[in-house]
Amino acid sequence: MGWRRQLDVARCADDERAIVRRSVYFFALFLLTTAAAATDSRDAEIKQLFDQSRWRDVISVVEKTGVRSADLDYYYGSALAQVGSLPEARTAFLAGRKLQPNDKRFPIELAGLAFKQKDYPAAIRWLRMALRIDRNDDYANNFAATVYYLEGNTEAAIRYWNRTGKPTLQKVVFDPMPRLRADVLDRAFAFSPGSVLELGDLITSERRVEGLGIFPVYGFRLAARDDGKFDIGFNAQERNGFGNNKLQALVSIFSGAFYQTVYPAYYNLVRSAVNVTSLIRWDAQKRRGALNLSGPWRLNSKWRYTFGMDLRNENWAIRDSFSGPAPVLGSLNLRRAVVSGGVESFTSGRWGWSAGAEVSYRDYRSVEAGTAITPNLLLSGYQLKQLTSVNYELLRIPERRFVIEGRGTSQLARIWSAPSHSFAKLQSELDSRWLPQTRGDDYEMQSRVSLGKTFGEAPFDELFMLGLERDNDLWLRAHIGTYDGVKGSAPLGRSYFLSNWEMDKNLYDNGLLGLKLGPFVDTGKMMDTTTTFATSKWMWDTGAQTKISVLGVGMVFSYGKDLRTGNNAFYAQMEKSFTKAR
């Protein structure tokens, strides 16, 4: 039975080891429980001191603690911030954030520290981190809106306030009071007092104000009230009659006199945003007279009608350059008369559309076909055209002050020549605008990419032109469209690609006189194998331009260099764009 005795000894040894393990386990559990209880007691003490706003006591107790948790870093950092130790508070919050990267309290508190130091860009960066953790945090959204409001970025402020059901409008304030009829202006505003101002309503209002055509410079500004609501101010320069004074009228009408053109115009007829604009050019090489009448349909700023008439008598000499020895490849005299009408809808700030029609008649005289002008281009007679366009906002980032918009246009026409022909012209544009500064429009950058294509047989005057010419809006700023004042030196064709980029630096602005300077880069190509009007190679232009605004009338002076040929181009042109105050 000796083996049985040996087994009992082994079993006893195993039992003793098990008892030791259990004892060690329970002793460790006791120590951990005791430590946890002590930690809980300490944390509870610190939280109680924190709730009682005993900031220095919080600091003292936490500093005696060896290893700090994320909560202790939060209490410690908050207490340090309250006593003015901002650098130490930032260190504590960064330590807590490292322990708990998904805790929104830390980026919010870091934003608060940056705000106290008036470092608004840093405050915004931290708040956006917090909102990535919890997009619906009311405090963070209100905080971000307040910072953007103080920076002057109204759109971004409204975007974040909208997440919390703000801002509520109390009233609309005008400075100065416009002469435009109150009912017309009221319909231009998509918001109303007593309601929450939505960002979409603000953008819609801006589109409709631009559509009125009488405010060359305007802006909306929020003003906080003591009751937590807001007033919204509308500040604008308004065009009335021939001008608000004799000097403005003279500048507006005769700004093109140095190139034999005047622009008589009468704005805000009967205080209803009905505008009559015209152009009279007595240049012997390109005579032109144009008249345009537009106004809000039934005094509703959402809709705008347009009626126009355009008469031209132009000499054309087709050349492959605007300077130097450029032989004539073909020439003609074009006479054209157009009557048109249409309507434009400012549906919302996101998108809009327009539709219209025109009837025209053209004929050609003194034709010397040469090698460029083919019989299928000399289509004369009456023409009926239908025009439609749609514009859509693809992207808007108010925080970055960046917008991308797309636009598509179509023209369907039939010309009753001998024989008659039908054709279509399609164009698409992608426009972007970036304002890199937190407020104002200094260093504003704009770009445009445009494509166009013609289907079917189109007459000569329906060809696309890439170059600087006063009747053309497809600019290559080192290619001038005239040679000794005669049209025909810029690339012409049925299909094209064009890219424009420019930047404007503000040099001076006193409200009456503004001056901007900046570089530009243009790229273009005529993708047309059916004509000999242009090279099929890519064209690259670069240079600088100066924009001058005098009493609301703008002029652009540009210098461009053709990087392919080395040609230099100097040009002056009217600028008729409307500007939102920034």
| Angle CA 102–105–108, to nearest 5 | 110
CA gap 169, 162 in Å, rounded: 12
So what's the pLDDT on residue 552? 75
Residue 544 burial (CB < 10 Å; 0-12/13-18/19+)? middle
Residue 206 burial (CB < 10 Å; 0-12/13-18/19+)? buried
Domain ranges of the chain: 8-162, 169-237, 246-580
Q: With CA atoms as reference, report the closest residue to 487 among 281, 290, 339, 310.
A: 281
So what's the pLDDT on residue 318? 92
Length of the chain: 582
Q: With CA atoms as reference, report the closest residue to 564 among 320, 208, 374.
A: 320
Q: With CA atoms as reference, report the closest residue to 427 among 445, 447, 454, 467.
A: 454
Tally: H helices and E strands in the chain: 11, 24
Residue 333 burial (CB < 10 Å; 0-12/13-18/19+)? middle
Percent helix / strand / coil, the chain, rounded to 5: 30, 40, 30
CA gap 113, 148 in Å, rounded: 16
CB 332 within 8 A of CB 322: no
Q: With CA atoms as reference, report the closest residue to 377 among 427, 332, 328.
A: 332
So what's the pLDDT on residue 38? 44
Give the start-end residues of each E strand in 152-202.
169-174
Q: Where are the alpha helices (DSSP H) in 52-137?
A: 55-63, 70-82, 86-99, 105-116, 120-133
Which residues are within 8 A (CB) of 136 and not within 5 positions of it... i.e. 6 or more apart? 163
Cα-only R_g, the chain: 35
Backbone angles phi, psi at 6, to 5 degrees: -65, -40
The per-residue b/e assignment along 397-407, b for 16 or more CB within 10 angstroms, e otherwise, is: ebeebebbbbb
- The DSSP letter of residue 107 is H
- DSSP assignment of 379-408 equals --EEEEEEEEEEEEEEEEETTTTEEEEEEE
Topology classification of domain 246-580:
Porin (2.40.160)
SS (HEC) of 511-550: CCEEEEEEEEEEEEEECCCCCCCCCCCCEEEEEEEEEEEE
Q: Mapping DSSP to helix (H, G, I), strand (E, B) and coil, where does residue 2 land?
A: helix
SS (HEC) of 200-239: HHHHHHHHHHHHHCCCCEEEEEEEECCCCCEEEEEEEECC
The H or E element spanning position 11 is helix 2-51
DSSP bridge pairs for 336 = 312, 362
CB 412 within 8 A of CB 383: no
Peptide bond into 398 cis (omega under 30): no
Residue in the structure block whose two tokens are 């100097």: 570
Give the HSE-up count for residue 410: Cα atoms under 13 Å, Cβ half-sphere.
9
Q: What is the pTM of this model?
A: 0.85
CB 442 within 8 A of CB 433: no
Question: Mean pLDDT in runs of 10 for the chain (582 residues)?
Answer: 45 57 51 44 75 85 81 90 92 93 95 94 95 95 95 94 95 93 95 94 96 92 92 93 89 90 95 96 96 96 96 94 84 97 94 97 93 88 97 95 97 93 96 92 95 94 93 94 92 94 93 91 86 77 93 88 92 68 49
Tokens in use for 153?
């970025």
CA gap 492, 459 in Å, rounded: 12
CB 379 within 8 A of CB 457: yes
DSSP bridge pairs for 334 = 314, 364
Choose which CATH entry (3.90.79.10, 3.40.50.620, 3.40.190.10, 3.10.20.310) describes domain 169-237. Answer: 3.10.20.310
Dihedral sign, Cα of residue 18, residue 19, residue 24, residue 29: positive
CATH number of 8-162: 1.25.40.10
The H or E element spanning position 355 is strand 351-368
CA gap 526, 168 in Å, rounded: 52
